[in-house]
Amino acid sequence: MSSINTNASAMTALQTLSATNKSLNTTQGRIATGMRVAEASDNAAYWSIATTMRSDNKALSTVQDSLGLGASKVDTAYTGMNKAIDTLNEIKVKLVAATGASDADKAKIDTEIKALQGQLKAYADGATFSGSNMLSVNSGTTATTASDVKIVSAFNRDAAGAASISTIDVNVENIKLYEAGTAAGVNKGILDSNRTAAGAELAVASAATLGTYNAANTFTVDSMELTDGTDFANDQQVGQMLGVVESALKDMTTAATNLGAAKSRIELQKTFTSSLMDSIDRGVGQLVDADMNKESTRLQALQVQQQLGIQALSIANGNSQSILSLFRG
């Protein structure tokens, strides 16, 4: 039946053309953005997952920066510690030379030792990065131990979605060379603590009288001297000082090892974090990125369908014109 009120063919062609145009707009949007899930309406679940993971990746980028800052702090302390070890070895050499030396020579050697002691303090004070110094510490008037240096190392999210932060902690208490804190019972640093010849650290010093040997006497690497200007250390006391230096060197070597281990751990974590960020990027891409090969092929097909739909609609509209021929004389 032919009707001028209802053109079923035209309506079918129009619906088909509308569906083709809608698909064409979707495909063109994917090609323009490179994403098949650009909004929550495209796929709510994938969009939510991708948004959360992108947010976590930004947090990991900050973690990467924190690890870089932490690596610089540790590296600065490690450099200062190595230079201090070299300088303390020089003091050790001077003490060996002082054994059996005359008082005049001891006075000269003492001058050199004092210069080296000053250099040790300079190394420790100068090992500062971004306001952090692990070698020359001031724990204040109440704390008896130095605070750990905490380096943000990871941003974590558990299965329930709760976020947390992990840190790499550097134990400053075991590596500090000087402690300026004044609290009662504060633990002094490696170089300013009272030590016996056997290496034991004592909270209360047993002051030595130069020239008079006492097995219980303690010495401090930072302040020990061969002469006070009047009296001179005898060979037994020089031997005690050597024992103090040896024990300090042992502690500093351990401290340098701890710093080196922390530095290595930070570098490993930086590498892991970088790889993790890449993995998250790939995972998000698999969820929301468009396959440009498929989309370009689909675009060409839809463009052809659009042209055919327009042609079909034109033909369907033309069918109504044929009714006029029935009324021509």
Domain boundaries along the sequence of the chain: 35-289
Share of the chain above pLDDT 70, in %: 95
Q: Is 19 or 274 the better-scoring residue by pLDDT?
A: 274
Which numeric CATH code is attached to 35-289?
Answer: 1.20.1330.10
* Model pLDDT for residues 185-223, shown as the tens digit of each residue: 888 999 999 998 888 887 777 778 888 988 888 999 999
Asked if residues 196 and 242 have their Cβ atoms less than 8 Å apart, the reply is no
Give CA 118 to chain center in angstroms. 33
Beta carbons within 8 Å of 128's beta carbon, 6+ residues apart: 76
State how far the Cα of 189 lies from the Cα of 176, in Å rounded to an integer.
5
Which residue, chain included where needed, has tokens 């030379």? 97
DSSP character for 324? G
Asked if residues 1 and 311 have their Cβ atoms less than 8 Å apart, the reply is no
Report whether pLDDT(4) > 70: no
Tokens at 268, concatenated: 């490993």
Share of the chain above pLDDT 90, in %: 52
If you average pLDDT over residues 55-79, what whole number do you get? 93
If you average pLDDT over residues 34-52, what whole number do you get? 86
Tokens at 17, concatenated: 């053309």
Report whether pLDDT(1) > 60: no
State how far the Cα of 244 lies from the Cα of 195, in Å rounded to an integer.
6
DSSP string, 115-151: HHHHHHHHHHHH-EETTEESSEE--TTT-SSPPPEEE
Question: Would you state the pLDDT for residue 13?
Answer: 78
Report whether pLDDT(304) > 60: yes
* pLDDT band for position 326 (cuts 50, 70, 90): low
- One-letter amino acid identity for 224? M
* Model pLDDT for residues 73-101, shown as the tens digit of each residue: 999 999 999 999 999 999 999 999 999 99
Q: Write the CA distances from 275 to 57, 63, 197, 272, 286, integer angstroms.
A: 11, 13, 51, 5, 17
Asked if residues 174 and 258 have their Cβ atoms less than 8 Å apart, the reply is yes
Report whether pLDDT(178) > 80: yes
* pLDDT band for position 5 (cuts 50, 70, 90): low
If you average pLDDT over residues 175-194, what whole number do you get? 91
Between 8-33 and 292-321, two packed helices, what is the crossing angle to 10 degrees?
A: 160
> SS3 for 164-190, per residue?
EEEEEEECHHHCCCEECCCCCCCCCCC
* Model pLDDT for residues 99-121, shown as the tens digit of each residue: 999 999 999 999 999 999 999 99
